[in-house]
Structure 1
């Protein structure tokens, strides 16, 4: 069986697929990629079916070697990769030969990126998914981040050759991060709500696949920061006793006991998650109906970009 070997791992490098659906009521996190669209686009660039397992990494990607010719593609925040020291573009299907080394450098203007390989990564599925959930040790390769010397089996290569490339950008990269107030905004006085929406926020270095922290004004909850635990979703903005918002991501816990002042819109959550440490963030409230319209429009634009890649 063909394999790829990790010579030097990227930060938080894990195997991901779309994640585990329908298990939240059992306390099982959905997991899956932080930037699902980037991962799906990477798979399309190499001819894989949607949902094929790929590699996710943050900040930098490390070095890998293949023992068989494959088509690879990198999507996300990475701008340039190298094969045996020769620069090749991202967002493009590229042929890599057996024995060649793929170097994935530092990310520019973002945090998360994805490597798809024709045929995909063939690791055993746990609860219906290959996605790695680091805190519970589920999925991927032994439920952990990859380390030097790890070897991952590859599925049968597709018959799609190199040359597919991204020609359409489907989502906005600028503007405030939009969020729907609540569901527990009534736990915050009007003054605190105004401070939250008008605050000068920055992305903290305190981040992982579970959540990211924003730094800015201290936001106090009326009656304290503890509530009866209830369900969370990706984008829930919890307000702990520190008064600094915690935005929940893919590996989030299924329930939480902090009041949630807002929920980041699905269309802007990835943009927030891709914002580098220390960068400023502005928030803007929108009604739920607007958030839904934004998501519908983004999905249509993404489908068009996918079809353009597959037909190119």
Structure 2
């Protein structure tokens, strides 16, 4: 009852929805970079939405199933084949014992997710199965998986009705919606115009800690630095060079850069799909609109939750 890793891809890790509540100890939540896609994948195969899946970055890898299973691929589309047949995304698929699946490279985004009915049998660390790469904690031995690993997965039902998501919420990564950050008033109207009216390019140093960008330099009106304070996922920080950095799921928990904005909760999944050299713009929205967009996303999840077997 395991998944044999023939090739672990570029960076494939076990991720669930993260371990919240430990930032005061210097441990960020971690979890899926695109939690929306992971939740959909779990519901498609009959798991609880927060069960762990495999998060694959840019190149997914090659895997053999050592027993029959129901699986789902979600997130950005990665080229794939199961013994020569293309697996559809966003539906549950029956895989037979001995079959081999090849996943990747990506065609349109940074990450995809493989979920398996019954979930992956991974020990909980601080209440989560997620891999925290900064500390080599959790997941499969605290690291990306590699050739020769065998990842156990749980018991599954014998039969499952086909489920397919016909229309997911559109994930247009060319625009990231933001609300004002805690130091928003450190920046004059010209800085805000630069932030919203110019395109930024994702640098090659992107990772699960944060997304560094290149574009118009944003300058603060203040000469002083911020006293070290907490940093949430999605904070748009402005370092000395003026190039925005978006903190992400494995982010450091404190820092001293001013935070001009925060990416809204509903768009954090988009940050997880940005690839090097992608271009995007920031769009300022109200707190009310941000909450409305979050609720729409949750409504989509709930509709699937109560319709899936």
TM-score (norm 1): 0.93
**Residue of structure 2 in register with 1:155 after alignment:** 154
**Structure 2 equivalent of residue 240 of structure 1:** 239
Partner deviation per Cα, 1:135-193 (whole Å, 9 max, x = no partner): 11110111111111111111112345262211231345376321112211222233222
Contiguous gaps of at least 5 residues in structure 2: none
Determine the C-alpha separation between the residues in 2 that align with 1:210 and 1:41. Answer: 24
| C-alpha displacement of 1:30 | 0.7
1:77-226 correspondence to structure 2 within 5 Å: 77-161=76-160, 163-173=162-172, 176-224=175-223, 226=225
Give, in whole Å, the separation in 2 of the partners of 1:16 and 1:160: 26
Classify the secondary structure of the residue corresponding to 1:262. Answer: strand
CA 1:109–1:120 in structure 2 vs 1: closer, same or farther (change >3 Å)?
same
What SS does the aligned partner of 1:143 have?
A: coil
Query: Separation in 2 of the partners of 1:219 and 1:167?
Result: 41
Matched, 1:49 2:48: yes
Could you tell me how far apart the structure 2 residues matched to 1:59 and 1:175 are? 18
Separation in 2 of the partners of 1:87 and 1:176?
Answer: 30
The structure-2 alpha-carbon separation of the partners of 1:107 and 1:94, relative to structure 1 and needing over 3 Å to count, comes to: same
- Normalised by the length of structure 2, the TM-score is 0.94
Q: Distance in 2 between matches of 1:8 and 1:274?
A: 22
DSSP-derived class of the 1:113 partner = strand
Counterpart of 2:6 in structure 1 is: 7
Structure 1 residue matching 2:269: 3-state secondary structure = helix
Task: Give the RMSD, CA atoms, in angstroms.
Answer: 1.8
> Residues 244-303 of structure 1: CA distance to partner in whole angstroms, max 9, x if unpaired?
111111111112211101101111222233133222212111122221122112211232
Of the structure 1 ranges 217-226 and 59-68, higher mean CA displacement relative to structure 2 is found in: 217-226
User: Contact 2:173–2:273 at 8 Å: present in 1 too?
Assistant: no
Which ranges of structure 1 fall in alignment gaps of 5 or more residues? none
1:27 is displaced (CA, Å) by: 1.8
